[in-house]
Structures are given as structure tokens and as C-alpha cells.
Amino acid sequence: METFSTSRYFAILSFFILYLQTLTAYPYSSFSFKNFGKESNFESELALYGDAKVANDSLSVQITGSSISGAGRVMYKIPIKLGVGEPKQMLSFSTYFSFSLSPKNGDGLAFVMVPFGFPLNVFDGGSFGMLRETKMRVLGVEFDTSMDVKYGDVNGNHVGLDVDSFVSAKVSNVSPLNLVLNSGEKLQAWIDYEVGSRRFEVRLNKLGELRPVDPLLSYPIDLSRMWKEDEVFVGLSSSSGNSSQKCNVYSWSFKLRQVPHWMHSQPLDPKAFVDKTKAATLDKRSDCVLRVLAALIFGTGCGALGASVVLYMWTVFGKRRPVVPEENVVHPEVEYKKFNVVVDEAIEDGKQ
């Protein structure tokens, strides 16, 4: 019992030390701003570019205003390393933000990840305030309120994942959720990247509602192949296009998550899982049938053997009689004699 307790306490201490090392190694691995008022002191960690400014309510950031063809960005000042340690270990991350888009057909809003060296203060009229062309690898999650056929947009109310191009690698229609991106209503978005499954997921709902269980958009991607050991910047970018669409951000948080190496796994192939499940089911059924047949054969054999034993025992013991030599047979003391009976004729006739 003492050994078990010591081992348990040692394990707890080891995890605690590992947790402290993680905090020390990545002091800027996360940030959270519930609003952008003066008390939040967000300017110490976030930078505003282009038309982005603190809104009149002093609690939100207005990335694009009432001007046509406006563009702006909110970027986290500190570059992030998605891979740490030796050997290199990738990190998962999660980000959350609440926003609103006015009822205009602008570009909308995008969560962006750009490599170190990207010109954060340069705007050239590209969608979502991004550059039209760049040799740098860029990833973005667009909340698009305009439909552009050349980019493969399904409608003017969709979410897309852009990888090195404004042509989305994956697009999901928002309308089935009974949500309209440019309704002016406050919405909230959750974006997660899991290293274990190498999967990017996006969720969306009205502000104040619960986080959906099922993602609106899910896409397999290995970010380690995009940037390798390069540092990246994360931010929110928007452009109003040929409209005067307003884009406001009310809160934003970002968190890196270091997952132990032993918890990493390769992404699952659903088809392979289904095939294996079917094969396992067939094997179980075949095994079950064989077991039933074996049980029947065994039971029949046992029954036949038991019946044979019973018959044999009955033959041996059931018909046994006392057997003695012929000379020892005891005859009963009974003597037989012959008597002649004479009947009187008078008596026979009933006369005396």
C-alpha cells in the first residue's frame, strides 16, 4: 500500500512539474479579451492595421467602417511557433471570437494565419483585406457574405477554409443553421486544430448560445507541412469590397495546447474503420455459429455416452437373481396324497 501511494504521488508531482515547464516555455501561448475597452489593455498584445480602430462604444474593434473598399486587420503581435522541442512536437490550438457584419454585401471577416515576414500593414485590395498574390503560405477561415463564382462560392452566406488561395479547399453553407452572417446580429465562432487527428474544425452560433457539438466545417490538413519550423502570426482581417459593410469584433481569445507525444495518433480513415467493423462482425458471427455447432455435438456425444453407461449398468445390476448349486435347493415339506371320495346316492338326491 505504501509503495502504491509513493508511486501515485511521484506521478502527480511529475505531471505538475511538466505543467510548470510548459507554462515557462510558452508564456505567450494564449490570450483572452472579453472586450476591447481601456481596462483590457489589449494594445499591449494586439496591433490594429488599416481601417481597424476602437469603435464608438469603446468595447469593440471596428475593422471596417462606413467607407467603400475599406480594409483592416487585428493581429496578435507575438509570433507563434506551432512546433516545439526536440524531436519536433506540433501544438494544437483553439480560437474563439464574437463579431457582427452589417447588412451589406462586403467580403465579410476572416481568421488568418500568416508566416513571419508577412507585410501586416500592406493592403492591395485583395479579398478579406489580404494580399492578392503572395508566395508565402497563408491559411484563412472566411465568413463570406458575397458570392463570387471565380472563387467557387456556393452563396453569399457561407464559411470556407482557404489554403494558399481564395478558392476555398472546403466550403459549408451557413443557411441550414438559420443564421445570416450579414444580418447585423452578433455571432460567435470556434476554430480548433487538433494535432492528433490533423483536422481543422469550425463551429458557428448566435452569441449567447451553446457551442455546437457538430462542426459546421471539418477538413483534414497537416499544418506542419505548411510552415515546418516557421513562426506564424494570427489575426482577424476584413474588407468591405465595393460596399460600406461594417465589421465589428467584440471579443477574441486564442490558446495553444501542448498534447503529450504518447497521445498523438494518425488520422482515422472512416472507410477503413467501417470495413474493419464489418469484417469483425462477420468473424464474430462465424465464430458464434461454430461454437453453437460444437456445443450441440459435444452435448449429443455426452448424452449418448451417458445413455450407454446407464444401459450397461442396468444390464449388469438390474437383472441379477440369487444363484445357488442345484444340490442345495430346498424343497418345501409338502406331501401329496390321493383320496377317493364316495358320495351317497341318497344324499345326492337330497333324500335321507
Q: Is the pLDDT of residue 336 over 60?
A: no
* Higher-scoring residue by pLDDT: 206, 21: 206
* Higher-scoring residue by pLDDT: 276, 308: 308
Burial grade of 150 (CB within 10 A; 0-12, 13-18, 19 or more): exposed
- State the DSSP string of 240-287: -TTS---EEEEEEEEEEEPPPGGG--PPP-HHHHHHHHHHHHHHHHHH
Residue 311 CA, distance from chain mean position: 65
What predicted TM-score, i.e. pTM, was given to this entire model? 0.67
65 three-class SS: coil
Predicted confidence band of residue 28 (pLDDT cuts 50, 70, 90): very low
With beta carbons less than 8 A apart as the criterion, state whether 219 and 200 touch: yes
With beta carbons less than 8 A apart as the criterion, state whether 266 and 130 touch: no
What pLDDT shows up at residue 264?
45
Least confidently predicted of 100-109, 243-252, 257-266: 257-266
What pLDDT shows up at residue 289?
61
C-alpha cell at 284: 464474430
Q: How many CB atoms lie within 10 A of CB 201?
A: 18
Q: Is the pLDDT of residue 325 over 50?
A: no
C-alpha cell at 14: 511529475
Q: Which of 107, 141, 142, 112 is nearest to 126 (CA)?
A: 107
Predicted confidence band of residue 227 (pLDDT cuts 50, 70, 90): confident
Across the chain, what does the average pLDDT equal? Answer: 78
pLDDT tens per residue, range 254-276:
999 875 544 444 444 555 445 54
Q: Residues 304, 307, 309, 313: what is their CA dihedral angle, to the nearest 10 degrees? A: -160
What pLDDT shows up at residue 188?
98
pLDDT tens per residue, range 131-189:
777 778 899 999 999 888 777 788 989 999 999 888 889 999 999 999 999 999 999 99
Q: Across residues 325-335, what is the average pLDDT?
A: 49
Q: Rounded CA gap, 282 and 223, in Å?
A: 39
Which amino acid belongs to residue 189?
A
53 three-class SS: strand
C-alpha cell at 258: 501542448
* Higher-scoring residue by pLDDT: 15, 150: 150
With beta carbons less than 8 A apart as the criterion, state whether 247 and 109 touch: yes
In this structure, what are the phi and psi dihedrals at residue 305, rounded to the nearest 5 degrees? -65, -40
Q: Across residues 195-221, what is the average pLDDT?
A: 96
Q: Rounded CA gap, 93 and 82, in Å?
A: 9
In this structure, what are the phi and psi dihedrals at residue 136, rounded to the nearest 5 degrees? -80, 150
* Higher-scoring residue by pLDDT: 91, 220: 220
Q: Cell numbers 467501417 correspond to what residue?
A: 274
